[in-house]
Every structure is written in structure tokens, then in C-alpha cells.
Amino acid sequence: MNDGRLAGLLAIDVILIAIAAWLALALLGLVFLRQRAMAARVLFPLGAAVGLLLGTGALWGLASGPQVAVLAIGLPGLPFHLRLDSLAAFFLALLGFASAGISLYTGGYLRADDDTPPGLFAFGYLLFLASMAMVLLAADAYAFMVMWEVMALASFFLVIANHRSAETRSAGFLYLLIAHLGAIAILLCFGVIAVKAGDYSFAAMARGHLSPFWASAAFLLALLGFGAKAGVLPLHVWLPEAHPAAPTPVSALMSGLMLKTAIYGLLRVSLDLLHQPQWWWGALLLALGLATALYGVIFSTAQTDMKRLLAYSSIENVGLIFAGAGLALLFRAYGMDGLAALALTAALYQAASHAFFKSLLFLVTGSVLHATGQRNLGHLGGLIRTMPWVAWLAFIGVLASAGLPPLSGFVGEWLLLQSFLFTPGLPNGFLNMLIPVVAAVIVLVSALAGYAMVKFFGVVFLGQPREASLADARDARLLERAGLVWLAALSVALGLVPTLVIQAIDPVTRLLVGAGLGAAVAKQPWWLLVPTSVERASYGPAVFLVGGLAASAIAALLVHRLYHARLRRAAAWDCGHPWQTARMQDSAEGLGQPIRQIFEPFFRMRRELPDAFDASPHYRVEIEDHFWHGLYLPIARAVEFLARQAGRLQQGRIAVYLLYSFLTLLVLLLLVGR
């Protein structure tokens, strides 16, 4: 045991076994291509069990020291180097535990009417999981890039699983395009670092010393590459397209986990490989993160499609995580390692809680979609009566996402705000003036996130059903329920015992910024979270929960004892109307209207207002992204223009083509002869 072995196995061995098991299951999926029962009853539940194994192995690896392995696959003489250090282990633990819930759910989710055969879907799904795990384990640029591309391709094919719809195909194409743009940037970034180090292994790259110029170039390339995958402004456009197009479990995986691999990559490059950050990197990351968060949350409040709403909310969360990472870089650049650890812990905490609650919420939309066939909020409502399981589990996810105590989302945001309160200690007057202002943005973002979640939950589950067909909506199946319960339980646990989680994060921050919160947190009892000192701030989620429950219980008791306990059903707010219909409820558009009004410059809106004498009035509003019209379409037009100009070279005459070769040869010869 003392060298970290259990039954002769290291933690990294356990993880590799889990990955191999995923791959084996994936191949089984190809064998049983069209047998839905096989995929649903065997492959996905087993995949969930493997996920648990991987998560456990990763938690164990988080506690033990770094471990290495070499896999002799790939090109001869160029094996994959793998390394399990605390950063990788943390993200692997997220991958294992969150994917366990998602896989379990997927077992119950598969239906007969999908375009992709269930076996093929299972193959892509499990390959996607395995490649994500390998990305996190990779310890050289070669293995990382290979696995990164496998991950991108696997997820692309999962996104276009329902490839019969043109909308899905175009969303998939956009995703693939931006993913490749990012991959090129990452490749260049590794190239810049490796040239100085002379080797492509991460260990050698971390030892190399780059001049500030090249280090900054590498950082900017990494920001571009990983930002494209994470959905940071202005590379976020694929996210709200790809998530609604993809099958629900895939949206959950992509939003909950794949975005985290991008965060992992950014942290790996900026804090591990380029170990001397400059202050403006942090400032840039912080500004970008905040802009992304604000943009994402404002758009999420204005959406009318469940999955788009959640996709924009993912953009917001990624923005918050980036802001935390930026703050950590900023503190690190000024040598304030303790505070860097605080900010980094906040970012990692947010990443962890987002992995669970966003997966949960996406899966909820899948259940609603299958039960009702509707993704549009305008056709839903009142589902809490027909789908109580889904509704109450969604409620937990919504609370976490809105950042309310005692759930997990609150801890991340609270820690982030705590680290913002320390910025006046920075030895840079300009930042000192600016950062309190941006801390206010974080608060605005959390408030708006709450608003978006109220809208999501309220319109889908509360009120009256807006369509008659909603009355026969069926609650989730057993496996679906099990997956949802697992994710909800993790969201609650992450919120209730932040001290334990922060102690688990401690090795990660020690690795990256050389300090950790573990020691400070361990001084206090487990139910009280004190990141710095008791005088400054403390938070006891369990106390809060007990207090909250007690207050509610007493209130309920009082109402029932002192007032009358009868339940009275009556028409709400009928205001003297002779009749009421479900369509008179506040709608998703209505809830979004004030936000659209306040933040009007953010949107590009097309509104169709009904005529006063219209017999069947329709109100339509389409919200579009300024970036799409201001940035992407001009680029697309420019590319098309250049392609057309290049097309002029193609005369179609062989003599002319030969002449091109001939002239090229002559010019080259003349150049060489010089």
C-alpha cells in the first residue's frame, strides 16, 4: 500500500482499465448494431458502472501522487505518454461520476424512432467518453492532439445523430468548423512551446523557458483554441446550435463534460506548461470570461427553446469559470499564491457543480421532450402534476444553477466573489479601480441566472398545461429516473459538504499555483466553510439547510394549527374575466420581455406584431446574435469572395494548367539558383 498500490494496481491502471472497458463496450455496440434492448439494458448501464469505476480511480489518484504510464499505440517509436496528476484526476473524477448518471439515463432514454441505430449511437457515445478520459490523461502534445480530435469527431457524429433534419446537419457542420479552428490553434500553441523545449512531452514543455513574447503568443493561441471548445465569446455560436440539435444525453455530455476538457486544457497550458503568467493574461481572461457570462445569461433569459436556454446558460457558466481562472492567473502573476488558490478553487468548484447540475437539467429536457414531443417553452406548462419525479429533480438542478444555497452552484459563486473581494491587494492601481466594478457584473450575472432558471422551471412545470396533449405526459422511466436522482444527489452533496470538496481540490491548486485552501479549511469543523479566516467570511450550508427546513416546517405548522388547514382551489387572478384559458398565463416570451427591453442593444430582434383586427393573432419574436451578423457572415462572405477569385485560376484548359506548373518550376529554379 505504501507505494500507492492496491492489489498490484495503481490508480492510473484502474483508470486505464476503465477506459479499455468503455472501448470494449463501444465495440460491442457495433456488433449488436440494431438491437435496442442490448444497448439500453446492457451497454449503457455497464458504461455507467465503468464511469463509477473511473471516478473512484480518479479520486484515489487525486489523493496519491502523480503516476505515469506509456501506451505503445500510435506511430512506431512515438508512444502515448500518459500521466495522472491531481489536475487530470480532478477532471477525470467529474467525468466518471457525471457520465455514470448520464449513461444510466441514456439506457432508459433510447427510443426506436432515432435516425442512428442504437448500437452505433452507443459506439459513438462510449468512444466519446473514452477519448475525453484520454485527453485528460495525455502527457504529450501528440497524444493530446490525437485524442482531442477523436473527441471532436465522436461528438460531431453524436450531434448529427438525427441527421435527417437539415437544421441538425448545418449545426453539426458549424460545430465541426469551429472545433477544427480551435484544434489548429491548440496545435500551433503546442508547437510554439515545444520548439523551445525541444520535445513534445508536457514534462519537457513545462521545463522550457519562453521569452515573454512567445509565451504570450502560446497563451493567446491556447485561449483561442480552448475558448472555441468552451464557447467563449466570440466563438460561442456553435453552442446554442449544436446543443438543441444533438440527442439529449449528448447535449448533457457536451455541456457538462466536454466544455470542462477545454477548461482543463486552458489551465494545463496557462498554469502548468507556461508557468510564468503575465498579469495581462489574467486580465484578458477575466474580461473575456465576464463578457461571456453576461452575454450568455442575457441570451438565456430571452430564449423560448428549453435546450437553447440551457445552452446559453452553459456559456454563462463557462464565462464564470474563465473569470475565476483569469483571477487566479492575475494573482499568480503578482506572486499572491494563496489568493490565486482561492480563485482557482472557485473556478474548479464552479466547473464541478456545473458538470452535475447542467447534465441534470439537460436530461430533464430530454424527459420532457420524450413525454410531450415539445422543446418550445410556449407549448409546455403544468408538468409538475403529470411528471412529478422529473419536476422535483429539475427543481434541485434549477436551484443549483441559480446559485442558491445550500446547493452546489452557490459555493462556486460565493468563492468567486470572495476572491474578488481580495483584489484591492493587487499592486496595480488600474486593476484596483476596475475590478470592483466587474465584481458587480458577477452579481448581476448570478441574479439573471436565477431569473432564467425561474423562467425555465416556471414555464415548463408550473401553471396550467398550455396544450391539451400535455395531460397524457408520462413520467420518466426507471433508468432515466435513476440517472436523474444520481446527478441531483451529487449536486446536493457538492453543496452540503464544500469543505470535503475543497480539501479534494487542494492538491490541484498546490500543483498549479503552489498553494491551497485545504489546510485553512481543515481547521474548521466539516459543516463550516471558511476559505480564509473566520473574521472575513464563513458559510455553513448544512446549518443553512437545517435552518431553512426548520423555518419552513414551523411556518407550515403555524399555518396549519393557527390558521385553517383547508386546501382551497380557485381561479387565479381572474380579474373579472368571464373565462380563463391556459394561454393567458405568463409565457416564456412574456417573462423574457423585460430583459429584452433592458438589454436591447445586445440583441438583434425581428418582431411580428399582430394586427388589431386579426382573427387569429400571432406574436413572433426572433432573437439573433450580433456576432453572427457582425462577425461570422462577413468572414464567410470574404472566404467565398477569395475562393471565387482563386477559382479564376481554373481555366479548364490543360495547356494553362501545365503553364502554371512550368512557371512555378522556373521561378523555383531561379530562386534556388540565386
Least gap, CB of 271 to another protein (angstroms)? 50
Rounded Cα–Cα distance for residues 117 and 157 (Å): 12
The nearer residue to another protein, 615 or 671, going by C-beta atoms, is 671
Binding letters toward another protein, positions 621-660, x by CB under 8 A: -----------------------------xxxxxx--xx-
Residue 652 CB, shortest distance to another protein, in Å, is 3
Q: Which is nearer to another protein, 8 or 673 (CB)?
A: 673
Determine contact, residues 412/353, Cβ cutoff 8 Å. Answer: yes
Type of residue at 304: T
Span of 89-97, 172-180, 380-388, 663-671 interacting with another protein by CB under 8 A: 663-671
Residue 71 near residue 1 (C-beta atoms within 8 A): no
1 binds another protein (CB under 8 A): no
Cell numbers that stand for 433 in this block: 479601480
Q: Verify binding: residue 662, another protein, rule CB under 8 A.
A: yes
SS3 of residue 112 by DSSP: coil
Shorter beta-carbon distance to another protein: residue 212 or 652:
652
Question: Which residue number, 376 or 650, has a Cβ lying nearer to another protein?
Answer: 650
Q: How many residues bind another protein (CB under 8 A)?
A: 16
State whether the Cα torsion 181-182-184-189 is positive or negative. positive
Amino acid at 565: A
Query: What residue type is assigned to position 592 of the chain?
Result: G
- At its nearest, how many Å lie between another protein and the CB of residue 658? 4
Nearest to 114 by CA among 25, 44, 39: 39
Q: Where are the alpha helices (DSSP H) in 32-140?
A: 36-37, 44-63, 86-109, 118-137
CA 224 to chain centre: 17
| Residue 665 engages another protein in binding (rule: CB under 8 A) | yes
DSSP 452-516: HHHHHHHHHHSS--SSGGGGGPPPP-HHHHHHHHHHHHHHHHHHH-HHHHHHHHHHHHHHHHS--
- Work out which of 112, 562, 571, 670 binds another protein, going by CB under 8 A: 670
- Tell me how far, at minimum, the Cβ of 666 lies from another protein, in Å: 7
Among 31, 63, 177, 669, binds another protein (CB under 8 A): 669
Using CA atoms, how far apart are residues 456 and 245, in angstroms rounded to an integer?
19
Block residue for cell numbers 449545426:
171
CB of 636 to another protein, least distance (A): 20
Please identify, using beta-carbon distances, which residue of 112 and 670 lies nearer to another protein.
670
Smallest distance, another protein to C-beta of residue 3, A: 51
Indicate the residue among 164 and 644 with the shorter CB distance to another protein. 644
Residue 672 C-beta: closest distance to another protein, Å: 8
Residue 659 C-beta: closest distance to another protein, Å: 5
3-state secondary structure of 603: strand
CA 426 to chain centre: 30
The smaller minimum CB distance to another protein, of residues 440 and 659, is found at 659
Q: Which is nearer to another protein, 619 or 662 (CB)?
A: 662
The reply to whether 212 sits near another protein by the rule CB under 8 A is: no
Q: Which residues bind another protein (CB under 8 A)?
A: 650-655, 658-659, 661-662, 665-666, 669-670, 672-673
